[in-house]
Structure 1
Amino acid sequence: MTNAAMPTPARAFEMLLSGNRRFASGTPQHPNQDAARRAQTAPGQRPFAVLFGCSDSRLAAEIIFDRGLGDLFVVRTSGHVVGWEVLGSIEYGVGVLGCPLVVVLGHDTCWTVAAAQTGVDEGTITETGYVREVIERVMPSVLAARAAGLSSDRDVIAEHVRHTVDLLLERSPVLAAHLAAGRTAIVGMTYLLQGGTTHLVTARGLPADAAAAPSP
């Protein structure tokens, strides 16, 4: 992407989906991972998507989306919890680097979300320090899921992804402005660890046909 025009939000989303299909099917191409790409991107970066996901070691963005150097601007925290560092990083990706797509990526069997569910259901959190604070910041998503009658792991994870998308747009006027102007889309997705597939939860700023693209 260094010398090419940025893709549209819909095209950027399709590039991610295509890469995940390759990864999930066991036919990755490992693009942009050679010495030539390293030299090409050394002077500057033009990633086509911001990926905000959980820090889980099994959620390595460039691997599961079969991308390479300079393709993704990656921000990760436990349970994709939002703080000012996250907001600033995403605003940099959108406002400075011009990324046409922001992805919030959750996953099944997320320990942080499971701990937040325990905190809500049993009224207690055994963890201490900053781990406790991270868990507490996921609990509003669990409360919203419970209020909607959702209890399965997959449904709660999806609700947390939706809540995170809403939170980003609520707290970042830069992201909200780029979305309103059609320069950037934001999608929420979940990832299944066993199958390696991603699944769309929510989409803002994508054409209906792009948002309806089938999962791998």
Structure 2
Amino acid sequence: MSSKPSPFPKTPADTWRELRAGNARFVAGTPQHPRQDVERRASLTETQRPLVSIFGCSDSRLAAEIIFDVGLGDAFVVRNAGQVVTPSALGSLEYAVGILQVPLIIVLAHDGCGAVRAAIDSQGADAAPLPPNIAGLVDKIVPAVRKVTGGQGEAIDPAHVDSGFVGREHLRNTVAELVASSEMISDAIAAGTLAVVGANYRLLEGRVETDVVVGAV
């Protein structure tokens, strides 16, 4: 397959269209593996201009460049367990927007998320304490658990909580927090030079499904 790049998208809408086309190829089993040859590698030694910044979960099944069928230098990827907004994640995304001038941020969640399940399990009556660093991430997902279960502080039965509903609620919370926490990101959205898409990845189908959009795509 040729690795020649397609015309470089400049707007949030054009970029999202190209990323969705790449995911469609991945779902169909016909990826092009673009921009992964020796010439592309050499062209990136002095500079980069990624298409998109992807803020996703660290889950090994969520390989961003593969599922969107993009190449070297195309995706500025930030990952942690459960795609939780942290100072380091926020700073990295601001670098992508302010310095690299990406027109699109994708916040990428997925079904079967272990961090989401840990947040649900942490609210059970007999839940064991989590190690502090893991708890710091999981605690950011607990508000989504409470929203789905309708509880305030009482213990829940984790077996009766739908992790898919919690994951979607947490995705929306993450997008909202990302925009609210960064003046740089919110200003770029207001100027029309950036959009943020919250999306869910389906492990079995390989499909990325749009859930929430902030900005124009």
TM-score, structure 1 as length reference: 0.89
Q: Is the 8 A contact 2:120 2:161 kept in 1?
A: no
- Unaligned 5+ segments in structure 1 are 208-216
Instruction: Tell me the CA shift for residue 15 of structure 1.
Output: 0.9
Q: Which one of the candidate residues 155, 160, 165 is aligned to 2:165?
A: 155
For the residue of structure 1 that corresponds to 2:139, the secondary structure is helix
Distance 1:109 1:188, change over 3 A: same
Q: Which one of the candidate residues 105, 114, 132 is aligned to 1:111?
A: 114
Give the equivalent residue in structure 2 for 1:13: 16
Distance 1:161 1:40, change over 3 A: same
Give the equivalent residue in structure 2 for 1:55: 58
Give the equivalent residue in structure 2 for 1:175: 185
Instruction: Tell me the CA shift for residue 151 of structure 1.
Output: 4.4
Q: Is the 8 A contact 1:50 1:102 kept in 2?
A: yes
Matches within 5 A, 1:25-44: 25-44=28-47
Q: Which one of the candidate residues 186, 197, 208 is aligned to 2:196?
A: 186
Give the distance between the partners of 1:101 and 1:172, measured in 2 at CA. Answer: 15
Give the distance between the partners of 2:209 and 2:216, measured in 1 at CA. Answer: 15
- Per-residue CA deviation, residues 6-41 of structure 1 (Å, 9 max, x unaligned), is 521001001111111111111100001110111112
Q: Which one of the candidate residues 70, 74, 90 is aligned to 1:71?
A: 74
- Unaligned 5+ segments in structure 2 are 152-159
Give the equivalent residue in structure 1 for 2:174: 164
Give the distance between the partners of 1:176 and 1:146, measured in 2 at CA. Answer: 31
Give the equivalent residue in structure 1 for 2:155: none
Q: Is the 8 A contact 1:115 1:125 kept in 2?
A: no
Give the equivalent residue in structure 2 for 1:96: 99
Task: Give the structure with higher Rg (CA).
Answer: 2
Moved more, 158-167 or 129-138: 129-138
Instruction: Tell me the CA shift for residue 177 of structure 1.
Output: 0.5
Please tell me the residue identity of whatever aligns with 2:212: T
Moved more, 44-53 or 128-137: 128-137
Q: Is the 8 A contact 1:100 1:184 kept in 2?
A: yes
Give the distance between the partners of 1:64 and 1:196, measured in 2 at CA. Answer: 7
1:205 aligns with 2:205: no
For the residue of structure 2 that corresponds to 1:120, the secondary structure is coil
Q: Is the 8 A contact 2:120 2:163 kept in 1?
A: no
Please tell me the residue identity of whatever aligns with 1:72: A
Instruction: Tell me the CA shift for residue 136 of structure 1.
Output: 1.3
Give the distance between the partners of 1:87 and 1:100, measured in 2 at CA. Answer: 16
- TM-align CA RMSD: 2.0
Distance 1:123 1:47, change over 3 A: farther
- Per-residue CA deviation, residues 44-78 of structure 1 (Å, 9 max, x unaligned), is 00001110000001101101111110101000000
Please tell me the residue identity of whatever aligns with 2:191: A
Instruction: Tell me the CA shift for residue 141 of structure 1.
Output: 2.0
Q: Which one of the candidate residues 133, 136, 145 is aligned to 2:136?
A: 133
Moved more, 168-177 or 198-207: 198-207
Give the equivalent residue in structure 2 for 1:145: 148
